[in-house]
Structure 1
Amino acid sequence: MNKPHPTLQSLTKITPPSKRVDRGVRLQNFKAGSVLFKAGEPRDNAYLIEGGTVDILGPGPEGPQSVLARLSPGDVFGEMALIDGGLRSAAAVVTSDAVLFVIPRGALRNRVLEMDPILSLMVALLVERYRTVRVNLPESIRQDQLSAVAQAMDRATHYDMPEDAARLSELWRRRDNAIKELKLEQELRRGIEKGEFVPALQPIVSLPSRRLVGFETLVRWNHPERGMVFPDEFIPVAERTNLVQFIDHMMLQKACELMPDLLSDMGGDDVPLFISANLSGINFENLDIIQSVRETLVHSGVDPHRIKLEITESALIDDPEKTEQVLRGLRALGVTIALDDFGTGYSSLGYLHRFPIDSIKVDRSFVSQMHDAPRSIDIIRAIVGLAHNFKMDVVAEGLETEQDVQMINALGCEMAQGYFFAKPLMPAQAREFAQGFAVRKPI
């Protein structure tokens, strides 16, 4: 471990939080005859069938262990575990080798609780009603219904679909989407555990001097089967499952580890260079992020003043008091704070006054519209003036042409990033880019 930077030596030692990902949705194989749960046991998991069959057993015409339902791929059962923690009213037994998504109660319960109270109640009532009807329906009728559904779907066409079949088609589409998300969540957990997420560094350039002054750390997923996956394909699911906080932490670690090499490539510790990493809103729900960032800084030995943490406007509004506490705790470590994508969400003068923010990033949407929409120029000019009044610097995103650079520079932005300077680079490429600045003229 590197020696902590002097900025951190005076702070009280904090025990690092656990880096292990909480166990969530998992894909599991079960042999025929496996008992998944029994009547009277606590509801702890729900299940979605990927392959194989499962029987639901309970009191019925054939006795206390009558087959109440025979489930196949795509069916969900045990779903009341996601609504409440009561006892099972039936048993579930695997009847042919099965592959099941096992969904722990805690994995989705928070999402249910966070819904509008009326919507949450309706979901609970509908699930309970579905269970009651399905369990009490004779098997012959259930099979007739399934056959009717299949026939209706066979008859349905894109331009002439019966109302019932259309409704079922939408339900099946949602089921397929849910299965895809469950698979992706499982792959995300595996990817985090195996360290499959890698940084891509986009250079940030000083506009007056055209010199390299920093990098933004963006995430890429080096998937073992799909290759390099871009964040728009997995971050939404990572955010919904709260796994994004582990990805954020991983990228911050990588950023801190890369900084000494980047400084060396550019000529030494006297070079003005920073590296930024993104923090999602979930990180501001408690104070653990302060401990996590401090531990990362201590282990890397990097100067905290070279680390910039980027947050979005939406992170500021969920719990302003807690967010302010977290941001001030992070600032006490010596890092700086940037407000990302400014102007696209919940911009407020009060936020700039209240929160300890050091810089503002102008969203690329304003930059891309500069040449066709004069109002975008007015917005950028207003953002720059506002930031300067609050003693903040400004970074413009998404510059692609020399004309973009000249216009943004004329509007008073100190720094910029975009494909005009460089696309996001893998660490080895970023080091070559940094080395070039030590021996060549500015861009």
Structure 2
Amino acid sequence: MPTSDVIIAGSGPAGAMLARDLSRAGARVRILERGGETSGPGPASAPNLWKLWRRKEALYVAPGVALLRGMRVGGGSTVFYHTAISPPLEMFSRHGVEMAPDLAAVLAELPHQPLEASLLGPAAQRITAAARALGLPWQALPKMIDQELCRDGGCPPAAFWSATSLLAQAMQLGATLETGIQVNRVLFQNGRAVGVEGIQNGQLRRFMGGTVILAAGGVASPVILQRSGISEAGRGFFCDPLRIGVALQREDGHPEVELPMAAGFVDREAGYMLTDMTVPPNFYRAFAWTAGRVDMLAHYRRSMMIMVKIRDEISGEINTNGRVWRHFSAAEKTRMRNGMGLAADILRAAGGRRIFFSPWLAAHPGGSVRLGHILDERLSCSPNLHVCDASVIPEPWGLPPTLTVLSLAKHLGRILLG
């Protein structure tokens, strides 16, 4: 079987950035992805809820709390909302990772500007005005969108960044991408990682390489490590729980094409983030039904929404079978109630009525293979074995992680290229 210089499990932002940068330096890179191809760049899309469960892109992480994730080429970058929040550099410095030059390198090549006012939809504009009237520092959020391509309040698919662009560059430079491969464990020889074992079309396969990088995400990477004998992986994780407040407004103002997370604010001390939100009609109806608000089922076009996302603690467990489970503490529930109360105040100030909230959801699983706990400053837990995705984030989070994992990938690439 052919041997690569580098095996990367996962084609999301970190895996794609590493594949591009290492291939550019002349390394032979092989990317293994569990999911299939995507339809290409564009705004975050949400298919039928049943399809998410069937593809295992949704799973329960706590009683009644569903986690949504992207298991496809490009990973979470194909289903996220393109929000470019910079990482808290001091957090990583405490664990020996100086990431400022890597963040600067990422920002130099990717769009990350605050969303222009002309791109705020009607509901986002009302929410922004109401929040500011209440004295909140509600601002347009930085987005990974090429806004020069946007016209008349909308953006074409080509304007939205995703990791698929990095993957395309990597493959032009000689990297190979294979899909439909579930990596199960890392192979070792004399204490060093020498490849991975995975299943493709029901067949067991081995992929050999001089360096192995797990970039499979906050759930899959700790499972692979556990199956490889690293039992500490998966002991505790965060999942950025959220709820979405919905209100009825007088005018139609929440079209499906309205850009979500256009503006908002992060209260790091209180431990939550609030932004305007847009969800597809089938999600809206599911939220209304679950909340017992049949009176709101037919009012999607007249709704406006605010997302409340809290910083949860690292707890629970991801086991070797991939079961993800935890409970939320009284402090975490209080943090959510406080954020919901503020969201309701903003919706009322914006003229909203009949306010209700979605069930708890979760996004951005991570902290399951933590820097300083399992990994050293080289993002390594064994010779020739590295981990680079949201699982390495060392402390409770509560922020969109895309810029962070891209910066971590730059950091690791810099180390490997020495």
Q: TM-score range by the shorter chain?
A: under 0.3
Please state which structure has a larger fraction of its residues in helix: 1
Q: Which has the higher contact order (CA 8 A, sep 6+)?
A: 2
> What's the TM-score, normalizing by structure 2?
0.22
| Structure-1-length-normalised TM-score | 0.21
